[in-house]
């Protein structure tokens, strides 16, 4: 038999079959997560640990919560993602939009009842407290602001940043926080709208996505952000960054994950969800200065980096279901009256 004939009849099909099996194996060892940016909440370390311990590759993804939900809805008939991470209100909206499915991960019973959908359409993995992440060196000698009212002072013109509250969850949390601090409620966002109108005179910077690097560089000296990002800047990146819980009060909110309905790698997605709630996965969040949903995962060292409990006493929980219900109406009002 000629060599060319042998290649055509035997070697080529064998090679194609081998490549096909390699492709199948590679696909099977992948899970797609929407909104897993490496610079946020130390997802970078979490994704590396998942790869090392489970052999599952999870590509980085820089969407925000709102963009992730919009993508899930757009892809409803042909899903691309397997799991999704977002603020709690978006998890509730995703359940209503029927783009996520029920799954009760490992350690399900350790998640407090108020921090999960009873069936498992979404569940908290950690929480954060909103405040001011302040790059002290970038203030140019100005005092560190201590209150919502301080941010309105002319001396901070062009120095304040917050993520777009009509799209990014942390931006919406900031709106809820200042609204509550100024006497509003989830049924009346007028105080927040009036505050943002006043803040507009100070020429704030309003990005749509994670602005950690811009705060670190000093481009945004004062960023409305979570405690965990400020602590990371201070204790891991060794920057002169302070975290402030405003005097008038703020809110604490959970971040949640869900299994996407009919995701292409559902089995791998479930393993990822189990992992982020495991002892090791929760410890990674705790070491990144987040409050893991399983409190037992916080080490004494990690706890020592947080502000005193007396400061955290100014941070309160809200009705997250109600917060989700009014989010779209707030976004529409913000876009019409502020942006």
Whether residue 21 is contained in a domain is answered as no
Q: What is the token pair recorded at 32? A: 């797609």
Whether residue 24 is contained in a domain is answered as no
Same domain, 82 and 225: no
- Reported as a pLDDT band with limits 50, 70 and 90, residue 299 is confident
Q: What is the token pair recorded at 241? A: 């960054």
Contact 73, 95 (CB under 8 A): no
82 phi and psi, to 5 degrees? Answer: -110, -35
| 91/71 Cα distance (integer angstroms) | 13
Whether residue 1 is contained in a domain is answered as no
Same domain, 110 and 208: no
Question: Which are the contacts of 77, defined by CB distance < 8 A and separation ≥ 6?
Answer: none
Residue 272 pLDDT greater than 60, yes or no: yes
Between 301 and 144, residue with greater pLDDT? 144
Residue 88 pLDDT greater than 60, yes or no: yes
| 247/100 Cα distance (integer angstroms) | 38
Residue 167 pLDDT greater than 60, yes or no: yes
DSSP 138: G
User: Number of structural domains, the chain?
Assistant: 2
Whether residue 88 is contained in a domain is answered as yes
Q: What is the token pair recorded at 210? A: 């994670």
Could you tell me the residue range of the domain that residue 163 belongs to? 128-252+320-338
Between 279 and 4, residue with greater pLDDT? 279
Same domain, 60 and 180: no
Residue 51 pLDDT greater than 90, yes or no: yes
**Is residue 271 classed exposed, middle or buried when 0-12, 13-18 and 19+ CB atoms within 10 A define those classes?**
buried
| 173/10 Cα distance (integer angstroms) | 62
Same domain, 199 and 324: yes
Q: Is the dihedral of CA 217, 219, 222, 228 positive or negative?
A: negative
What's 223's domain CATH number? 3.40.190.10
Question: Which are the contacts of 198, defined by CB distance < 8 A and separation ≥ 6?
Answer: 152
Of the candidates 99, 100, 93, 65, the one whose C-alpha atom is nearest the C-alpha of residue 328 is 93
pTM for this model (two decimals) = 0.77
| 169/75 Cα distance (integer angstroms) | 21
5-48 confidence digits (pLDDT tens): 444 454 444 444 444 434 433 445 999 999 999 988 899 999 99
123 phi and psi, to 5 degrees? Answer: -155, 145
Contact 288, 218 (CB under 8 A): no
Same domain, 146 and 197: yes
Same domain, 132 and 247: yes
Whether residue 5 is contained in a domain is answered as no
Same domain, 38 and 90: yes
Whether residue 278 is contained in a domain is answered as yes
Same domain, 235 and 333: yes
| 34/28 Cα distance (integer angstroms) | 18
| 62/36 Cα distance (integer angstroms) | 6
Same domain, 174 and 268: no
The chain-wide mean pLDDT, for the chain, equals 91
95-147 confidence digits (pLDDT tens): 999 999 999 999 999 998 889 999 999 999 999 999 999 999 999 999 999 99
| 258/269 Cα distance (integer angstroms) | 9
Same domain, 114 and 222: no
End-to-end CA distance of the chain: 75
Neighbours of 335 (CB within 10 A): 13
| 147/161 Cα distance (integer angstroms) | 15
What's residue 28's pLDDT?
52
Whether residue 13 is contained in a domain is answered as no
What's residue 302's pLDDT?
81
Same domain, 228 and 137: yes
Cα–Cα distances in angstroms (integers) from residue 265 to residues 25, 45, 209, 245, in the given order: 12, 22, 27, 41
| 247/51 Cα distance (integer angstroms) | 42
Whether residue 200 is contained in a domain is answered as yes
What's residue 1's pLDDT?
52
Q: Which helix (H) or strand (E) holds 135?
A: strand 123-135
Same domain, 40 and 143: no
């Amino acid at each position: 038999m000629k060599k060319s004939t042998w290649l055509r009849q035997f070697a080529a099909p064998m090679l194609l079959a081998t490549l096909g099996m390699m492709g199948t194996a590679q696909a099977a060892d992948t899970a797609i997560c929407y909104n897993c940016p490496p610079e946020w909440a130390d997802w970078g370390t979490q994704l590396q640990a998942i790869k090392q311990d489970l052999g599952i590759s999870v590509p980085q993804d820089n969407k925000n919560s709102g963009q992730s939900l919009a993508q899930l809805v757009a892809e409803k008939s042909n899903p691309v993602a397997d799991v999704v991470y977002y603020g709690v209100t978006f998890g509730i909206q995703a359940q209503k939009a029927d783009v996520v499915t029920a799954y009760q991960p490992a350690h399900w019973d350790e998640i407090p009842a108020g921090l999960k959908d009873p069936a498992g359409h979404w569940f908290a993995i950690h929480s954060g407290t909103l405040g001011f992440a302040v790059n002290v060196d970038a203030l140019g000698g100005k005092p560190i602001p201590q209150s919502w009212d301080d941010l309105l002072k002319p001396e901070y013109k062009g120095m304040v940043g917050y993520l777009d509250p009509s799209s990014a969850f942390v931006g919406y949390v900031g709106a809820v926080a200042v609204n509550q601090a100024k006497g509003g409620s989830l049924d009346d966002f007028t105080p927040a709208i009036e505050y943002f109108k006043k803040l507009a005179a100070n020429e704030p910077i309003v990005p749509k996505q994670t602005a950690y690097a811009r705060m670190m560089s000093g481009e945004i000296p004062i960023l409305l952000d979570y405690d965990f990002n400020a602590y990371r800047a201070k204790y891991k990146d060794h920057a002169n960054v302070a975290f402030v819980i405003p005097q008038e009060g703020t809110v604490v909110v959970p971040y949640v994950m869900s299994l996407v309905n009919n995701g292409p790698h559902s089995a791998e997605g479930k393993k990822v969800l189990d992992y982020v709630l495991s002892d090791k996965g929760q410890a990674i969040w705790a070491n990144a200065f987040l409050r893991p949903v399983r409190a037992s995962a916080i080490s004494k060292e990690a706890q020592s980096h947080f502000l005193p409990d007396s400061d955290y006493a100014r941070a309160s929980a809200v009705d997250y279901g109600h917060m989700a219900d009014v989010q779209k109406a707030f976004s529409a009002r913000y876009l019409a009256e502020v942006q």
